[in-house]
Amino acid sequence: MRVEPFALAIAFAITVFGQVIYHSIARTVGPSRQPFELIAAAYLFGLIAVVWVGLATKQMSVGGLISLRTLIPALGLGIAVALVEVGYIYSYRAGLPIGTGALSILAVTTLALVPIGMAMFAEQLTLKVFAGAALAAFGVWLMRS
């Protein structure tokens, strides 16, 4: 896959900005808030924003939205996103620190994705990847001890 540095930098910045907002808000959700109500309302606002921007920029169509080629992977993504949302909210309620918690979860997720990348996408386990995975595992241990 060809890397486009500018497009990657923009996408990276958008993701970081969104993650900072997401974790800052998710960490402040009080125990009186029902996580499923909060997530459903967030998805409603997200749906409105995505449809509006997608239609305005002509990056989506109603026909494409309701096609099986879209709906089948969207089902899996929807379930995965819901699991992530619920997991983070309950983790923060249980005392996960905002400064190190998200990094710990992402490091463990990355470790879980290495064999999936190898099996499904023919990604290579190089010495650099192995060393990075070992450092990530050590970093998680260090932050949690």
- pTM for the full predicted model: 0.80
Both tokens of 79, joined, read 């379930």
Contacts of 82 (CB under 8 A, 6+ apart): 39
Both tokens of 7, joined, read 């497009």
On average, the pLDDT of the chain sits at 90
Show the low-confidence residues of the chain (pLDDT under 70): none
d(CA 89, CA 27): 7
CB 47 within 8 A of CB 60: no
The model's pLDDT over 88-123, given as tens digits with 9 standing for 90+, comes to 999 999 998 988 888 889 888 988 998 999 999 999
pLDDT for residue 21 = 94
